[in-house]
Amino acid sequence: MRSGHFCFLNQMDEVAAAGYDTAELHIREIMELDDAGFRAARKQTLDCGIHCEVFNNPLPMDIQINGEGFDLAYYTEFMKRGIGRIAELGGRYVNFGNGRARHIPEGTGKEEAAQRNLNVLNTLCGLAAAADLTVLLEPIGISITNYVTTITEAVDIIHQVDFPNLKALVDYRWQLAEGRPLSELADFKDSIAHIHVDYPFSVLPVRVEPTVEDGHDYKPFFDVLQEIGYSGIVSIEALTFSDFPNEIRRGIELLDLHGIV
């Protein structure tokens, strides 16, 4: 297994200095850059000493696929541009988190709404396949979305898409929140391509660094990853900091304790 950490472009050097193998970035940040800013970001990612392999949320965070006025043609071009930039930065994975974007509003026909979500996912997978990227489908808890909340549902969707480059992401927070047994990960081990972990009991939108001292026992989760032979990235999805450089070092201490690094 390898270690990763969420960050923004201006924090990559600190993630590298802390000893992580990879930085995990936000697509919206690279999409907001003009061409000159993106060229500078590309140089920065190449110079920081670690790869940026995973990029999150290919759609804007404030849109709804099943909301009024969603234009698939427009967002196909949006995703195409994002995929292009990810590929230029050396990315390997695009995480379709975007829980609120895929939520099916009350009163919406579920079958039609699910098909619209699937159309977007097929479009994303096709764009990613052309750039030799893998798409990750992240189950997210019911407090955020009602579409793909468990790994069982994610794997079912994987079997429905038209492309072979769709895999599942497991976020430890949501595995616990939905009351799912860790043992089920063995059933889907061939579909799991990425892991997220944070301290799972912080109240969203606060997501804090998991540490040896935070009072939670992460050992059963990391033991399962070892048992199923998982060999990908375990990325810390902490987003709330008072002292970023020192706090992320406490995160890698936890990963080290459990044999991740």
pLDDT of residue 108: 85
SS3 call for 13:
helix
Alpha helices in the chain (DSSP H): 12-18, 27-31, 35-47, 72-88, 99-102, 110-130, 151-158, 172-177, 219-227, 244-257
Q: Average pLDDT, whole number, for the chain? A: 96
Find all residues with CB under 8 Å of 219, minimum gap 6, and list them.
258
pLDDT of residue 86: 97
Q: Taking 90 as the threshold, does the pLDDT of residue 195 lie above it?
A: yes
Task: Report the alpha-carbon distance of residue 105 to residue 63 in Å, rounded.
Answer: 12
Q: pLDDT tens across 213-225, in order? A: 999 999 999 999 9
Q: Measure CA 134 to chain center.
A: 12
Distance (Å) of CA 17 to CA 214, 244, 246: 23, 12, 11
Q: pLDDT tens across 3-15, in order? A: 999 999 999 999 9
Q: What is the DSSP string of 159-205?
A: TTSS-S-EEEEEEHHHHHHTT--GGGGGGGGGGEEEEEE--TTSPTT
Is residue 222 within 8 Å of 253, Cβ to Cβ? Answer: no
For residue 89, the tally of other CB atoms under 10 A from its CB is 20
Task: Report the alpha-carbon distance of residue 47 to residue 42 in Å, rounded.
Answer: 9
Query: How is residue 55 annotated by DSSP?
Result: E
Q: Domain limits of the chain? A: 2-257
Using only C-alpha atoms, the chain has a radius of gyration, in whole angstroms, of 18
pLDDT of residue 130: 98
% of residues, the chain, pLDDT over 90: 94
Task: Report the alpha-carbon distance of residue 195 to residue 233 in Å, rounded.
Answer: 6
Q: pLDDT tens across 58-104, in order? A: 999 999 999 988 999 999 999 999 999 999 999 999 999 999 999 99
CATH 3.20.20.150, domain 2-257, yes or no: yes
% of residues, the chain, pLDDT over 70: 100
Q: pLDDT tens across 108-147, in order? A: 899 999 999 999 999 999 999 999 999 999 999 999 999 9
Q: Are strands 22-26 and 93-96 parallel, antiparallel or unpaired?
A: unpaired
